[in-house]
């Protein structure tokens, strides 16, 4: 099977499972609508795909990682809903449509995010229970919790909120390794744990996940300058205008592009221990370097 076919299969699996996740849930209809509006938007499903691909690369079944993959997308979606709020990044558009709070109001958008975060953990705990509390499955949950929480994405967002101006590369790395990188790394590690990865495989994939997360963020910063609304589905140029701490603002566009090339090469080296089965990740790294959305 080709990488593109794998990607399409992963997306199909995750989209279907996400559509079913809230179906018929006995919860307030407007809350369900607000959660579903963002969860079933036109996101790339990157984090779920990373988890499924890591699991399969190490000989596991993609379906075993599916609940965790869905949970990753729920957590990612909550973070986007909250990030778009006026108190945070104040964005009116996301994934090519009005942001959640523009449609449902700020209060309901906050609750939709809260609901998705809690539901993500409920989804993973139900799966853990079905797996007889398998310690590797538990390690996957822990990786997700760590990536999403106060040592990961929330920490990065907290520091970003206070960093108005582009100042140091150290602070930039702190923010992005947590705000964007931690969930990406967690997705790869979670899939690997579910496939019962050994310590060496976890170490190599931790390195790959960190490098790939950094590549994703640098290319996101580049696309904030060079991308289009049609491709990215959100307002662009805001970071530039606000002199936000981004790779482009700190190092300049050309240097940021060179950095992306170097990080992509390092990410591919980190995959060497896995040989041919790492083809999906090798191609993904290449595609991310050249991405326009
Ligand atoms: C609210 C705790 C909290 C955190 C918010 C994710 C995030 C942290 C903020 C979003 C803004 C941001 C960091 C953008 C840079 C990279 C990024 C995460 C882009 C969005 O992810 P994609 O491109 O989006 O995977 P889709 O829509 O495809 O899912």
Q: Mean pLDDT in each 10-residue stretch from start to end of the chain (293 residues)?
A: 84 95 90 95 92 98 97 98 96 94 98 98 97 97 98 95 75 93 98 98 98 96 82 65 79 95 97 96 96 83
Measured from the Cα of 83, ligand 1's closest atom is 1
| Amino acid 66: pLDDT | 98
CA dihedral sign of residues 282, 285, 289, 293: positive
Residue 160 beta carbon below 6 angstroms from any ligand 1 atom = no
CA dihedral sign of residues 233, 180, 154, 136: positive
Helix (H) or strand (E) holding 20: helix 3-21
Mutate to test the pocket of ligand 1, among 51, 73, 79, 97 (most ligand atoms within 8 A of CB): 79
Residue 224's contacts (CB-CB under 8 Å, 6 or more residues apart) are 236, 237, 238, 239, 240, 246, 248
Residue 78's contacts (CB-CB under 8 Å, 6 or more residues apart) are 112, 113, 114, 115, 116, 117, 120
Residue 91 to residues 41, 66, 108, 220, Cα–Cα distance (Å): 16, 30, 16, 16
| Amino acid 248: pLDDT | 92
Mutate to test the pocket of ligand 1, among 51, 83, 149 (most ligand atoms within 8 A of CB): 83
pTM: 0.94
Measured from the Cα of 113, ligand 1's closest atom is 1
Measured from the Cα of 76, ligand 1's closest atom is 6
């Amino acid at each position: 099977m080709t990488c593109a076919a794998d990607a399409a299969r992963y997306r199909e699996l995750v989209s279907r499972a996400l559509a079913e996740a809230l179906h018929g849930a006995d919860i307030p209809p407007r809350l369900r609508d607000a959660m579903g509006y963002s969860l079933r938007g036109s996101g790339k499903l990157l984090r779920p795909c990373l988890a499924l691909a890591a699991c399969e690369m190490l000989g596991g079944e993609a379906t075993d990682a599916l609940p965790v993959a869905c949970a990753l997308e729920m957590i990612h979606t909550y973070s986007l809903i909250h990030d778009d709020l006026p108190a945070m990044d104040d964005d009116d558009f996301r994934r090519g449509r009005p942001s959640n709070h523009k449609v449902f109001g700020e209060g309901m958008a906050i609750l939709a995010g809260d609901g998705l975060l809690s539901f993500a953990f409920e989804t993973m705990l139900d799966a853990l229970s079905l797996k007889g509390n398998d310690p590797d499955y538990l390690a996957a949950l822990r990786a997700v919790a760590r990536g999403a929480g106060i040592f990961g994405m929330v920490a990065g967002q907290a520091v970003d909120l206070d960093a108005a101006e582009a100042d140091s590369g150290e602070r930039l790395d702190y923010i992005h390794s947590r705000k964007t990188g931690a969930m990406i790394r967690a997705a790869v590690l979670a899939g690997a744990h579910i496939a019962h990865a050994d310590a060496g495989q976890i170490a190599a994939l931790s390195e790959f996940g960190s490098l790939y997360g950094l590549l994703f963020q640098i290319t996101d910063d580049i696309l904030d300058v060079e991308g289009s609304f049609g491709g990215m589905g959100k307002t662009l140029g805001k970071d530039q205008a606000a002199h936000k701490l981004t790779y482009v603002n700190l190092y300049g566009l050309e240097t940021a592009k060179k950095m992306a090339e170097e990080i992509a090469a390092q990410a591919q080296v980190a995959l060497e221990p896995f040989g041919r089965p790492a083809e999906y990740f090798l191609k993904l790294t290449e595609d991310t370097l050249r991405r326009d959305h």
